[in-house]
Each structure stands twice: as C-alpha cells, then as structure tokens.
C-alpha cells in the first residue's frame, strides 16, 4: 500500500520549505497540485523533476479516484496546494477523507510547514492562547451573521481576505463596531507589512497608501 504525503509549500518566500518537504518531493512517484504551473516554479528552483497532475477544488473527488488506484499499486503520492498548508482554505481535506475511508491501510502523512494563519498569529503581538479561524467569510449568505459573531467574540478571529475585498471588509467591521484589528499583508514577501490599530487607522493607512491594498491579507479581529 502506498503513501499520500500532504506537503506544505511556501506562502511567498521560496526558502520557506522544509528539508523533509524537499526530500518527499524528490522521492515521490507523482505530485498532484492545485495548479501545476505554480508548483512547477518551486520544483524548478530546487531542480526537482516529477510527473505533475492537477487536483483543484473542482476536480478533487474525481482525481481522488486516480490517487486511490496509485496508492493501491504502492505509489508515493504528494499533494500540494498553491501556497501554504493544503486543506487550510485550500483543497486537500476531501482527498484525505476519501483515502482514509476507501483505503484505511494506506499511510497518510503530513509534511508540515508554512501557513499564512500561523505566520500572521506569530507576529501579531496579541494573546493567541486561543483563537477562532474562519478563513474566507461567505460572500453573501451568512456573511452578516458571521460578522456579528466575530464582533461579539471573546477570542481573536483570524480571517483570510483578498485585495479587492479588504476595504469592504474593513467598512463592515466598522459597521459592526469592531475596534481593533491586526492586518498581516504579503507575509514573507518584499512588501510584507503588519498594520495594528483601530479599524479606522487601518482604513486611513490604505487611503494614504493605495499600493498597500494590493497583495494577500490575513485579518485578525482583536476582541
Ligand atoms: N493554504 C494557505 C495557508 O496555509 O495559509 C491559504 C490559502 S488561501 C486560498 C489564500 C489566502 O491565504 C490569501 O487570500 C490570504 O488571505 C492568505 N495568504 C496566503 N499567503 C499569504 C501571505 N503571504 N501573506 C498574507 N496572507 C496570505
């Protein structure tokens, strides 16, 4: 029976990959990736050549069938998402559930590494003994209820947000009377910055620095 390795990849800085992850990528039979073009850049950087297959959110269940066949044949299969840890606001969890259910004797191993969630929390400077992670908020149905719960929460809430929605999210947080937030932008990249203060201060920062609205964001709502 084969092995399925769920491998974390960098969230920006290509050096943020573990020795074990590189060895696993070098030794596997095939790599399934959320986007083969993204992983191809990482593999080129580390001079790794492997057969690549795509497995994204749409094809996850269908490709899981191929992976089951490979595991039955004893292959070593890797899954990587575009960035960070698979399954964290990324595909991967349904694949793992399927393999666990259909092939209980297959080995499923985590090769841990970067995640925007833990990177942002680690430099937030707030008490993170306990926190809530919600990832991306729903765009429509359930959004207002989620925002209300976040505003009332006694724990920090960690959210993922895209550049074209960050200003809308800040406006909504104001409407729900959220006071303090921490925003981690472009973690591990050239334009990395951490904005900590009131929501109004963050809005003023983006108004003064329109370039800062670009990139990737982790938003932590401070209780
Ligand atoms: N699996 C990834 C992880 O472990 O963090 C998350 C993937 S999710 C599709 C992408 C979101 O993660 C982005 O929209 C952003 O909210 C956050 N993110 C990813 N990379 C980031 C970075 N370098 N800086 C800040 N946020 C990042």
User: 104 with 72: CB under 8 angstroms?
Assistant: no
**How far apart (Å, rounded) are the C-alpha atoms in residues 196 and 220?**
9
Whose C-alpha lies nearest to ligand 1, atom 20? Answer: 11
Q: Residue range 72-93: average pLDDT?
A: 98
Residue 161, ligand 1, Cβ within 6 A: yes
d(CA 172, CA 168): 6
Nearest CA to ligand 1 atom 13: 216
The half-sphere exposure of 126 on its side-chain side, counting CA atoms within 13 A, is 26
* Model confidence at 161: pLDDT above 90: yes
Domain 116-222 has CATH 3.30.950.10: yes
Taking only the tens place, the pLDDT of each residue in 105-139 is 999 999 999 999 999 999 999 999 999 999 999 99
Distance (Å, whole) CA 52 – CA 78 = 10
Q: Could you report the per-residue pLDDT of 183-214, keeping only the tens digit for each?
A: 999 999 999 999 999 999 999 999 999 888 89
0.75 surpassed by pTM: yes
Q: How far is the CA of 11 from the centre of ligand 1 (A)?
A: 7
What's the sign of the alpha-carbon dihedral 41, 45, 48, 49?
A: positive
Q: What CATH number does domain 3-111 carry, 3.90.1150.10, 3.40.1010.10, 3.20.20.70, 3.30.70.20? A: 3.40.1010.10
pLDDT (0 to 100) of residue 116: 98
Q: What does residue 194 show for φ and ψ, rounded to 5 degrees? A: -120, 125
| Segments of the chain assigned to CATH 3.30.950.10 | 116-222
Ligand 1 neighbour 117 (Cβ under 6 A): yes
DSSP code of 78? Answer: E
For ligand 1, mutation pick of 84, 111, 112 (most atoms within 8 Å of CB): 84
What whole-number distance in Å separates Cα of residue 120 and Cα of residue 150? 18
Q: Are 83 and 10 in contact (CB under 8 A)?
A: yes
Q: Which atom of ligand 1 is nearest to the CA of 192?
A: 24
The C-alpha atoms of residue 119 and residue 186 are separated, in whole angstroms, by 11
Q: What residue ranges of the chain are covered by domains with CATH 3.40.1010.10?
A: 3-111
pLDDT above 90 (res 16): yes
The radius of gyration of the chain's CA atoms, rounded to the nearest angstrom, is 19
33-71 residue pLDDT tens: 999 999 999 999 999 999 999 999 999 999 999 999 999
């Amino acid at each position: 029976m084969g092995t399925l390795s769920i491998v974390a990849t960098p969230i920006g800085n290509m050096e943020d990959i573990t020795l074990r992850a590189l060895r696993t990528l070098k030794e596997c039979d095939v790599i399934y990736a959320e986007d083969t073009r993204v992983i191809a850049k990482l593999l080129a950087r580390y001079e790794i050549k492997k057969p690549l297959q795509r497995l994204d959110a749409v094809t996850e269940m269908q490709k899981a069938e191929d992976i089951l066949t490979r595991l039955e044949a004893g292959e070593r299969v890797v899954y990587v998402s575009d960035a960070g840890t698979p399954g964290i606001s990324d595909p991967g969890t349904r694949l793992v559930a399927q393999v666990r259910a259909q092939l209980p004797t297959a080995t499923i191993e985590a090769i841990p590494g970067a995640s925007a969630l833990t990177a942002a929390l680690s430099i937030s400077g707030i008490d993170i003994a306990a926190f809530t992670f919600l990832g991306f908020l729903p765009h429509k149905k359930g959004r207002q209820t989620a925002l209300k719960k976040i505003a009332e929460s006694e724990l920090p809430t960690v959210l993922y947000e895209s550049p074209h929605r960050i200003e809308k999210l800040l406006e909504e947080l104001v409407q729900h009377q959220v006071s303090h937030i921490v925003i981690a932008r472009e973690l591990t990249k050239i334009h990395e910055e951490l904005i900590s203060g009131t929501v109004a201060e963050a809005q003023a920062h983006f108004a003064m620095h329109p370039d800062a609205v670009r990139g990737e964001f982790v938003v932590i709502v401070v209780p």
